[in-house]
Every structure is written in C-alpha cells, then in structure tokens.
Structure 1
C-alpha cells in the first residue's frame, strides 16, 4: 500500500467513525405543538442506551387561555438499533400549566447509584410564570429506576431550585433563592441508599427609591437533610416538594 492510499484509507475510516458516532446519537421525539417538549440523552452508565422524555400539551376543556392546560408525560429507555423501547413510563396530566407553566425539560444522568446494582437517572422540570412583580422560577427533580420493562419514580418533585418574591417594580420588595444538591449517602434504608440533600438559601430585601435604592442580602448556612427510602419512594420533608 502506498502512502497516498494509506492516507485515503485512514480518512475514509475517520469519516466512517464520525458518521457512526453521529448515527448513534439519540434524536428527540417529534412534537406537534409549540408548547410541547421533547429531549433525548445518551446514558453513560449503560453504553448503547439512551433516555427520551416527552411532554405533550393539551388545553384545558372550556378554557379560553391558550396556555392553560395539562401535559401528558412519556419517558423511555432505548437500546441502540432497536425500534421498540426496552422500558417506558407514562403519566396522564403530569404537569399543569395555569399561570405557572412548564418552561424547560432536561435529563440528568449523574451517578445516582441507589443500590450497588441500580443506577437511577433524573428528569428535571423547570416551571416559571410571566409576572414581573411576583416572579417565580423553580426546578424539580424526579429520579427513576428501571424495573424490567417499566421505569418507576423513586424520588418525586424534589425542589432543587426556587426563585421568587414580590416587589413594587421600582425598588422596594423581597426576593428569595433556594438551591439544593443531591449526594448519595453511605447509609441505606429498605435496601436503597439514603440521599443527602444540601440546601442553601439567600434572601434579598430592597428599600428606598431611585438612586437611593439599597439591597440587603442575607445568606443562611448550608443545611444537610437526609432523605430515606420507605420501600416505595424517598420521603420528602415539608417544603421540599415542588408545586
């Protein structure tokens, strides 16, 4: 083989590999409405598998508001090269849009090893409103595990981010921000690892007018909370569950 043919062969191989990688990447499901959401992500814990999520909007019966309604939710795990998902989950009217609406849908494939043999994955749903004076922005995390051909939620609607408040449109008002992270504990309950949730909270109050407007910021110390599995799901303390 000449040097030229070797280079051509290498180039062809590189193109083929790139094409194969592109082909292997998952593609989100098709959506039919402007308010629908669809996402897809490769699952690093299980090479060759990908996760797909889809939220399909339906306007509430009798409502004159186009954005008032409910979302049906579909979730699936797909094996490369197979047309039929290997595991699925479906929930009618999983999310409501009524003043506060679904804004973003993402997949979380962090290392949620709830048992030595089971790796959970997360679905993060972000909800917002359109109010300038009373803003609300929150993100919820739900964890799922695969059980045969079924995907089961084991942690539901944990509030991992929230921003909200009230102000007069000029200066005076109060806002608060909460962020939470999730870690796997060394302890366990009913066979599932406990979860360590760390909460950070920041509050801002504003007083004055015009150039005299001043902000006062308070940051609370991080607080750790243990979530334990009760045999069906992780139990959330009051205030930890999203809307």
Structure 2
C-alpha cells in the first residue's frame, strides 16, 4: 500500500521535456478513430491538410500502472480551416482509450488566432498523486503561432492536469511551463533591438499539505535574468521563485500566463 506522504515529491514537468515533438508519442489509427467517434466527428482522419484530412495534432501514451489503457490528446479540424489559415476553431479531445473503446473523455474547442494555433501535444505521466487513490495526468499543448511582432511578455507550453471522474475527465490545474518578460520599457522601440531580459521554466511538485482532500501543488519558476550594466557588460543572474497552490474543491486554478516570477522592474509588473 502506498502512503500518501511518501508520494509527495518533485515531479518532472520541465521545459526540455515539454518541448519534445508529439511524434515521439505517436497515436495508433484505432485510438484516433475511437476519440473521433466519441466526439461525433466524421470524415477523413488523415493528417491536417493532406487531402482534406482533419487530424491537426495527436499524442498518445500508455497509462502508468495500466498499460492497456492509452491517454490520448487529439486535435480535429472539423471546420476544415487548414494548417495555414491561422484562425478558426479546432476540436480538442482528451481521452482514455482501451481496446478501441473510450473509457472517459472530455471535449473542448481551441480558438485559433494570432496568439494560439495548433502545434502539438505531449502527454505527461509524472506521478501527480493528488490523494492516495487519485492520480492526475498532464497534457501539454504547444502553439505554433508566431505571436505579435513586438511583445512585452509571452508564455508557452501549456500544461493541463486532468483527473478521471467516471466517464469524464476533469481539468483541475493549468499553467504555462515557459515564459519570458521584458524589463526594458523601450523594448518595442525603433529597431526592436532589445531582447527579453528575463525568462523562466517551471516545474511542479506535490506537497505534503492537503486542501479540500487534494495535495497542495508547488509551482517553481527557475528564472534567468539579464541586466545591462554597461554598454559592454550584461550581468546574468539565476534564481527560483515559488508559489503554493491550494485545491478549492474544484480546481487549483487554470492560468496559462503565470506572472508570479516576474521581476519587480519588468514592463508587465510596472504596468499593474
């Protein structure tokens, strides 16, 4: 038997892992077909843009301790917007599939725009034990959008943690795993020569403390800060900022643009 306290340890949810392409976690045709059928999607499940194919992205991985069950994240272009349009809605299905049948799933819509476009997925099966009998799993979404030509801050690698409740998968936590922010108020000035001055990759740990039946989650940002000390010298410092998130009975909070780690003199902090 597992003891709950022995399960409170740091988990692997790093940027380097998040950035791996979804082709490292391929999906079989029958898993994609099962997810599409569950969502009521009909049509070609060929890759996106390939003769009208609807499969925009997919990633699959065996469920820990239940290798005959597959965790699948699938994006389906039901509106046939195509990979080059840059907008339009895409259907997202996250499912647990066994023997060609969906055991539990959830469906949502990805609204594509200048900031968000379907890039790829990665399934995160780190041991997110939220209670002795509840283990969450993660789905990491990567956007392929170029974003605005000049920005003060940005975020990427969106992690969502899901728990199973019968035939449903419920999202309980969300965060970006990477972000950057400018400290130079003239960063969008003539020439756009300045680069962002601080960036962070984030990791998650399960805490020993409990709120409303689920373990607290610690979110740590490993920050790299570049400061222009003179025209010839840039000083780089590294440090960690950490927050603890508490379950409120429904969620830990879903925020894909975490700013708790921003330096006090960043453009975004000064604007508040």
User: Residue 229 of structure 1 corresponds to which residue in structure 2?
Assistant: 247
RCO (CA 8 Å, sep 6+): is it higher in 1 or 2? 2
Contact 1:173 1:206 in 2 (8 A): no
1:160-199 to structure 2, matched below 5 A, reads: 160-163=177-180, 171-199=193-221
Structure 1 or 2, whichever has the larger Rg, is 1
Aligned residue pair count = 205
Unaligned runs of 5+ in 2: 1-25, 33-44, 50-54, 260-272
- 1:154 is the counterpart of 2:172: yes
Q: 1:196 to 1:31 in 2, by over 3 A?
A: farther
- 1:112 is the counterpart of 2:128: yes
TM-score, normalised by the number of residues in structure 2: 0.64
Alpha-carbon separation, structure 1, partners of 2:97 and 2:217: 27
Provide, for residues 44-64 of structure 1, a one-character-per-residue CA deviation record: whole Å limited to 9, x for no partner.
232321111111236699xxx
Unaligned runs of 5+ in 1: 1-24
Alpha-carbon separation, structure 1, partners of 2:148 and 2:244: 35
TM-score, normalised by the number of residues in structure 1: 0.71
SS across alignment from 2:102: coil
Contact 1:203 1:218 in 2 (8 A): yes
Contact 1:194 1:229 in 2 (8 A): yes
Contact 2:140 2:158 in 1 (8 A): yes
Report the RMSD for the aligned CA atoms in angstroms: 3.3
Report the alpha carbon displacement of residue 126 of structure 1 after superposing the two structures with TM: 1.6
Report the alpha carbon displacement of residue 219 of structure 1 after superposing the two structures with TM: 3.1
Report the alpha carbon displacement of residue 200 of structure 1 after superposing the two structures with TM: 1.7
Report the alpha carbon displacement of residue 31 of structure 1 after superposing the two structures with TM: 4.2
